[in-house]
């Protein structure tokens, strides 16, 4: 059953890949810079954001192959090729899932945080997208603080770049 939810994950993947393209050009010092009001460094925030997306995908689709899990506290930096692949895999799993999920399935209650928190599956689905927007914005704030032009990641930019729509020329 088509719910329209898959479009949110298509946008999420586009925004993640575009941000990774920008961040790949940064130096180690820039990737590790920390500014007040953000989650942490760009490197830590990317690993946190993409690792969480893998977890949200696993909870939503009922399992997800991630070996080893992406961890923000690991010392070794992940390659941008690996980060892209992980972003692609989790978003594509959610695209496929949301293209066939029913409204009734989205209301199934999940036990999260080792059984200490209850929420409908729909909340996990929404959290996947909201969490990414929040952390991409924090990374763009860090880029701005570093004097680097952040990529346009809003939905209007997605409309123009990925969907081919936009301003009507007279």
Per-residue pLDDT of 117-159, as tens digits, reads 999 999 999 999 999 999 999 999 999 999 999 999 999 999 9
* Residue 166 located in a structural domain: no
Take residue 138 and report the two structure tokens written for it.
């924090």
Residue ranges at the known binding site for a divalent metal cation = 48, 131, 135
Residue ranges at the known binding site = 48, 131, 135
pLDDT computed for residue 77 by the predictor: 65
Specify the DSSP class assigned to residue 64.
-
Q: The domain containing residue 22 runs over which residues?
A: 6-161
pLDDT computed for residue 66 by the predictor: 62
pLDDT computed for residue 69 by the predictor: 72
pLDDT computed for residue 1 by the predictor: 42
**pLDDT higher than threshold 90 for residue 63:** no
Q: How far is CA 42 from CA 8, 78, 84, 104, 109, in A?
A: 23, 12, 15, 38, 34
* Residue 24 located in a structural domain: yes
Rounded mean pLDDT, 26-49: 96
Percent of the chain past pLDDT 90, that is, above it, reads 82
Please give the Cα distance from 50 to 34 (Å, whole number). 19
* Residue 168 located in a structural domain: no
Q: Which residue, among 134, 128, 114, has the nearest Cα to 13 in the 3D structure?
A: 128
* Residue 167 located in a structural domain: no
The residue behind tokens 């997306």 is 53
- The pTM of the full predicted model, rounded to 2 decimals, is 0.93
* Residue 149 located in a structural domain: yes
* Residue 1 located in a structural domain: no
* Residue 170 located in a structural domain: no
Please give the Cα distance from 143 to 149 (Å, whole number). 7
pLDDT computed for residue 76 by the predictor: 62
Q: Which of 68-82, 98-112, 151-165 has the lowest mean pLDDT?
A: 68-82
Take residue 23 and report the two structure tokens written for it.
């961040």
* Residue 15 located in a structural domain: yes
**pLDDT higher than threshold 50 for residue 103:** yes
The domain tally of the chain equals: 1
pLDDT computed for residue 74 by the predictor: 77
Do residues 19 and 136 make contact, with C-beta atoms less than 8 angstroms apart? yes
Q: What are phi and psi of 164, to 5 degrees?
A: 80, 15
pLDDT computed for residue 4 by the predictor: 85
Please give the Cα distance from 82 to 15 (Å, whole number). 16
End-to-end CA distance of the chain: 39
Take residue 41 and report the two structure tokens written for it.
């460094």
Please give the Cα distance from 163 to 3 (Å, whole number). 19
CATH number at residue 43: 1.20.120.450
Rounded mean pLDDT, 27-39: 96
Please give the Cα distance from 94 to 61 (Å, whole number). 7
């Amino acid at each position: 059953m088509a719910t329209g939810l898959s479009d949110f994950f298509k946008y999420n993947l586009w925004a993640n890949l575009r941000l990774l393209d920008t961040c790949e050009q940064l130096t180690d010092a820039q990737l590790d810079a920390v500014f007040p009001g953000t989650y942490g460094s760009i490197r830590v925030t990317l690993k946190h954001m993409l690792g969480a997306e893998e977890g949200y995908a696993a909870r939503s689709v009922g399992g997800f192959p991630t070996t080893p899990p992406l961890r923000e506290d690991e010392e070794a930096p992940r390659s941008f090729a690996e980060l892209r692949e992980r972003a692609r895999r989790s978003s594509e799993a959610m695209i496929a899932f949301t293209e066939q999920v029913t409204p009734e399935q989205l209301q199934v209650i999940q036990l999260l945080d080792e059984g200490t928190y209850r929420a409908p599956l729909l909340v996990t689905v929404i959290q996947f997208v909201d969490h990414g927007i929040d952390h991409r914005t924090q990374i763009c704030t860090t880029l701005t603080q570093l004097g680097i032009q952040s990529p346009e990641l809003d939905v209007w930019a997605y409309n123009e770049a990925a969907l081919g729509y936009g301003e009507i020329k007279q």
